[in-house]
Amino acid sequence: MDEIAATMSAATFVPGLEPEQDAETPPPAEPPGLLGVLGRAVGASPERIERYVLNSRLKDHLQSFIEQGYLQEADQQQLYRISARATGHGAVDQAGFLNSVKSRVESFLDGKPSEWIAGVEVRYTGMVPLFFLAQRELLDGLFRSFLLAFVLIAVLMIVVLRSAGGGLLAMLPSLFPAAVVFGFMGHFDWKVDIGSMLTASAAMGIAVDDTVHFLTWFRRGLDQAMSRHDAVLYGWRRCSGAMLQTTAIGGLGLAVYATSSFQPIAQFGLLIFVLLVLALVGDLVFLPALLASPAGRLFQARSTRSS
């Protein structure tokens, strides 16, 4: 395989094991050398004698294989380890890489006689598969937690606003930062790692806080008999300063991590800063525009919707 530079196993250190003969090359008519003479003397085929010699050499080296970690004997089983050394050049799709390895091994075993591979079981382990599975599980967990947080916050917004449509519309400015950033990353095929995924929930939490803050002052303006347009301006004047301060403190404070030499932390610091800035845009531009549009009637109390 092009992705694998070399492999190491017990077979690497067994003396006298020659590679298999090419299937297209016919075997010699007369067995050469000592094996042929010995085979004719004892009435056994040279292949059987060679197998006996190789098995004897394997038994002599079993202890060294165990000490080197390439063999383990337990519960009447022999576990042989084959280490595959990846090239490490460029970005490697770990999922595709593991699937390619499994496909190559399975196709190799399928081409062997059933009696040769009876009782043979292949297990895939090591740091790369374990790290990939752990990272995949973390990313899936973070995505599920993001969806769960969205659902719970949306339910609370519906209860607070006493409007299903208003509660769902109020979630749009909170989703705006994550949709823009991760949509941009997906469009340009940028990898989403753990550090990137951690920023989604944090940005949504801060954006929701600002959204509730703005909506609170918006509805207070409506309670003072203001029009929706005037209530939006009233909320903007009351909230914009606090939102700018929150974004500056949180965004610039976390942006320091962008200078870290550890790539996941550096990406987290950069993305959280961008997300917080976009959350500010969502709450000071997107949300006021939404409230001033005809959809803004959904955020009004039922008694004032007709005005």
Per-residue pLDDT, 306: 45
Q: Which of 86, 114, 89 is nearest to 100 (CA)?
A: 86
Q: Highest mean pLDDT: which of 25-29, 146-150, 296-300?
A: 146-150
Picking from 124, 146, 170, the residue at the C-terminal end of a domain is 124
Alpha-carbon distance of 232 to 216, in angstroms, equals 11
284 in a structural domain: yes
What lies within 8 Å, CB to CB, of 102 at 6+ separation is: 124
Regarding whether 157 and 17 lie in a shared domain, the answer is no
- CA distance linking residue 198 with residue 266, whole number of Å: 12
What is the average pLDDT value for the chain, to the nearest integer?
A: 78
Long-range contact set of residues 129-135: C-beta below 8 Å, sequence gap at least 24: 129/94, 129/98, 132/94, 132/95, 132/98, 135/193, 135/194
What is the token pair recorded at 283?
Answer: 């709450």
Pair (197, 100) in one structural domain: no
DSSP string, 236-259: HHHHHHHHHHHHHHHHHHHHGGGG
Q: What percent of the chain has pLDDT over 70?
A: 83
Q: Are residues 75 and 142 in the same domain?
A: no
Same domain membership, residue 56 and residue 42: yes
Whether 232 and 294 share a structural domain: yes
Which residue intervals of the chain are DSSP H helices? 33-42, 46-60, 62-68, 94-110, 127-161, 164-170, 172-187, 194-223, 228-255, 263-281, 287-292
Three-state SS for 84? strand
Same domain, 157 and 288: yes
Q: Is residue 287 one of the residues assigned to a domain?
A: yes
pLDDT at 16: 58
CATH code, 155: 1.20.1640.10
Predicted confidence band at 12 (pLDDT cuts at 50, 70, 90)?
Answer: confident
Residue 129, domain member (yes or no): no
Same domain, 56 and 24: yes
207 within domain boundaries: yes
Torsion angle in degrees (nearest 10) through CA of 224, 229, 232, 234: -50
Domain for residue 25, yes or no?
Answer: yes
Supply the range of the domain harboring residue 106. 93-124
Predicted local distance difference test score (pLDDT) of residue 70: 77
76 and 153 belong to one structural domain? no
pLDDT in tens, 72-125: 877 778 888 888 887 765 555 677 778 888 888 888 888 888 877 888 888 888
The answer to whether the Cα torsion of 259, 262, 263, 264 is positive or negative is negative
Q: Are residues 74 and 97 both part of a single domain?
A: no
- Note whether 101 and 229 are same-domain residues: no
Total domain count, the chain = 3
Cross-strand pairs, 7: 84
Choose between 29 and 187: higher pLDDT: 187
Q: Which residues contact 133 (CB under 8 A, 6 or more apart)?
A: none
Quickly count: other Cβ atoms within 10 Å of residue 144's Cβ: 10
Q: Are residues 103 and 12 in the same domain?
A: no
Cβ within 8 Å of residue 204, ≥6 positions away: 146, 149, 150, 153, 174, 175, 177, 178
Instruction: State the Cα–Cα distance between residues 147 and 155, nearest whole angstrom.
Output: 12
Q: Based on the number of CB atoms within 10 Å of its own CB, is 236 exposed (0-12), middle (13-18) or buried (19 or more)? A: buried
> Would 130 be classed as within a structural domain?
no
Higher pLDDT, 161 or 42: 161
Task: Name the domain boundary from 104, 124, 144.
Answer: 124
Biggest CA-to-CA distance, the chain: 114
- Higher pLDDT: 41 or 51? It is 51
Residues 35 and 103 in one domain: no
